[in-house]
Chain A
């Protein structure tokens, strides 16, 4: 790790001010991605703004037909939240399956989304459920937020404060973990809200999370895994690495989509 100066603001405003003023500043959330990266000397912020004391960024509430999750809420808190379990059980299950218990005790939804790792789980949920990402400056629809591998619509110094999930009629996430890292080798989130069905795929694409229109069309006709029978995604544009090639990933997208639909309808 390179040396840096540490700051610990109490409010979003202070945090935003520090990030704007200090040179090479980065915010620190759960640190479960940023600290390993800094340890390997792949990131070298000169100033680290720890959001750990920003109380207004923590917590989960229900606002009408929406679940709003503070950016500093840990994966464990989302997984264990009775609110989330009741309203969007698929989201609670997703959070409860990120990494391992220790990572879930510190990693946050804001950090995960801001980081947009192409193998992360939350981006699939945000995209499939049509979440809105709320920052200190504006509101960004998930469709516009995730812009490719580790790339988002966030401006320099912009801070995610909350994520709002409209409560879907049915939704679930099915993950095929990378055997070594346990991130998603392929993860598929399906969500049905009214007549709209969205299918979002993570882990597989060379440029991060994406939607699978063919599956959405098929499921819009009939929301059943039968509608996806025999379907696989197109292999073109999918990742090939030592754990899986594009063809296998394409096949797994089909399998995981069917499993997600089964889970969503309570099969």
Chain B
């Protein structure tokens, strides 16, 4: 392994600008003459808009325009879209209500966009927003996930009963049979709490219109600027793609919430032509809570069937998923194809049947958040498995081992073909690292201090490297999920990599460069990674679903193959040898069996000066592109073990140990991968014991700031013990599986399993705040006293 190649913990190239305050985020960009947009948002969860009177506001200082849904309609600007078509059980398409960027006739959640006020300064725009008079006809709210379909109030007329779709997957008959024959059945009602993604950089956008070129530019906080351009052009109708440039500069975290195409950026780019000035919008945190797409929000009934030998024979799940007031960009796929196909977990389960009802409510749209569907599936499976083991009196680690899939490839009953893995290897390593054997002693010692100590497992699997285009196409996706790359070798041998992936914390500028160092033998400083600008990178699908390593880097690898092949041709001319005799290794072309060599840099120069070959035989230059479409999903998997201490007096839970052993396939940069795991675990712990979005009965958002929405802080968390096992992924050339979401997927069930172990019963809902855990501990203490 070289110091900068694959497998080295290279320090990040991008860090210098961030630690010196020179990062360039969207809000750091200012354009001459820019005006500021302020969105007037609905104070009601559900209301008709009878009239909007902006006359007073328009007369206020600095105000350039007040625009509403009517103005959008007049300009024939289309609504926001949901890009994944889900079909009902009966084959009919899902019921998608209209989603205008500014409300047309009705508002459907608190924070919905009523109008935009554009003024010279933000303060003026905000002052004027208070002078816009809106006459609302207030309607009842629909808030509760479980009962939304029973509500008399309908959010979208196209969706009676508020049902977006009723979808299913798996084999119902086989599953019923398995349950009939089962020796033991575990039943659980499970709520997966609603979360706010909260990247620390709030969303922002600047739209500019260049009259001379009749051309728009949008700077935006996006994880996938090309998809944004595609949607803004082809569906919303802002401008054709060749007239619209989308730039996503440094982006301060995304976690899914910056995948989607939102109202605000749509309005900024459209309005920039209307007011003839650049239009800037920067979300504040309250707006982020109100209008960034939320995550999770499932209510599930689940049952697991087990035979007399302790083998799982069946799994039955019915889930109601809250999609909020409108279908956000990828929302429909989350509780369906990103969820149910993972219900087999790491286990050999012959029969699975899942039914999902997606519902509209008068709450913010819900879409993918770190893990997207897979955390929800893992929570269901890992809670059931843990409870089954406890009920059967089998050690939870052993029960898992008894049911692990051990032969690969493995076809599950729910679409997925697991290609490679060694689940027991991770379990063994984790048990060792967590000193599972010593737990009993630690528990006794804690008891002496008046603390309840518990341990909990999570054997998670996820599907990453999203995704084979044909496969997702057949399941309803509106786009293919390949990735693109272009390798530009400059005449002096420096290299620019243009990628359709987008880095917003993942460190692509380093890991992608490491791949280039490894393959071309050039120094790290000679490699630049260019991303996030549709004018530079032709097309790409962006970063989410832990796809940038497995898919994005595979595309780069493919393009590098082409560069090396072309380089060999050039070298053959220069070294006066036959192409098939040219080897390339450690940055040098050489002629087999001779000492004749040509440096990669010298070869690049030769490719451009083109003196040594005839332009008819070989094109000058050294630049290659590739599109890589994966052949399968990748399946990272691992084991997390959480150990907690509960203070029964207060219900405060302290996470005292955390062990993670993950199999991510081949790891390019262990330092960065471990960082991804840490961050994921923190978000998972956040979901399990700190975070939860709460709406009241009227649909008002109670958790609209950090005063009420509890973000994990440093003193809420322990240090993590992170280990790895490796089975290379056979489905891509680099053997990468992906690591971005693992922690967020694995952590919640591990933690809840630990807390329920500590308090001695299963009745602990997420987030397991002190209040919840105190009640649970009281119950346990009462039970103990009675016994």
Contact = CB atoms under 8 A, between A and B. Distances in A.
**Within the complex, are A and B direct neighbours (CB within 8 Å)?**
yes
Interface of A: 1-3, 40-41, 176, 179-181, 242-245, 248, 251-252, 255
A1 B771 CA distance: 36
16 contacts: A2-B127, A179-B690, A179-B716, A180-B703, A180-B706, A180-B709, A180-B710, A181-B707, A242-B692, A242-B694, A242-B702, A248-B651, A248-B771, A248-B775, A252-B650, A255-B650
B709 A179 contact: no
A74 B666 CA distance: 53
Interface in B691-710: 692, 694, 702-703, 706-710
Interface in B119-138: 123, 126-127
B157 interface: no
A179 B770 contact: yes
A2 B771 CA distance: 39
Contacts of B649: 255
Nearest to A249: B771
Contacts of A41: 126
Contacts of A179: 690, 710, 716, 769-770
A41 B127 CA distance: 10
B234 to A, nearest CB: 39
B702 A248 contact: no
Contacts of A255: 649-650
Given A255-B649, A255-B650, A180 B771 contact: no
B650 A244 contact: no
B198 to A, nearest CB: 12
Chain B binding surface SS class: loop
Among A179, A248, A255: residue with most chain B CB under 10 A: A179
Contacts of B289: none
A4 to B, nearest CB: 12
Among B123, B709, B710, B711: residue with most chain A CB under 10 A: B710
Contact of A180 (B127, B707, B774, B775): B707
Interface of B: 123, 126-127, 286, 649-651, 690, 692, 694, 702-703, 706-711, 716, 769-771, 774-775
A248 B694 CA distance: 19
Among A181, A242, A252, A255: residue with most chain B CB under 10 A: A242
B61 to A, nearest CB: 11
A42 to B, nearest CB: 12
Contact of A181 (B650, B706, B770, B774): B706
Nearest to B652: A176
Contacts of A181: 706-708
Contacts of B126: 41
B774 A248 contact: yes
B123 A245 contact: no
A45 to B, nearest CB: 16
Contacts of B711: 180
A251 B694 contact: no
Nearest to B123: A1
A244 B769 CA distance: 9
Among B126, B692, B716, B774: residue with most chain A CB under 10 A: B774
Contacts of B651: 248
Contacts of A245: 771
Contacts of B775: 248
Nearest to A256: B650
A255 B649 CA distance: 7
A235 to B, nearest CB: 13
A255 B648 CA distance: 11
In the A-B complex, list the 7 residue pairs whose CB atoms are closest, starting with the nearest. Answer: A180-B710, A181-B707, A179-B710, A255-B649, A248-B771, A242-B694, A244-B771
Contacts of A3: 123
Contacts of B690: 179-180
B57 to A, nearest CB: 16
B62 to A, nearest CB: 13
Nearest to A100: B713
Contacts of A244: 770-771
A176 B651 CA distance: 11
Among B126, B650, B706: residue with most chain A CB under 10 A: B650
A234 B703 CA distance: 28
B616 to A, nearest CB: 69
Nearest to B130: A41
A115 to B, nearest CB: 15
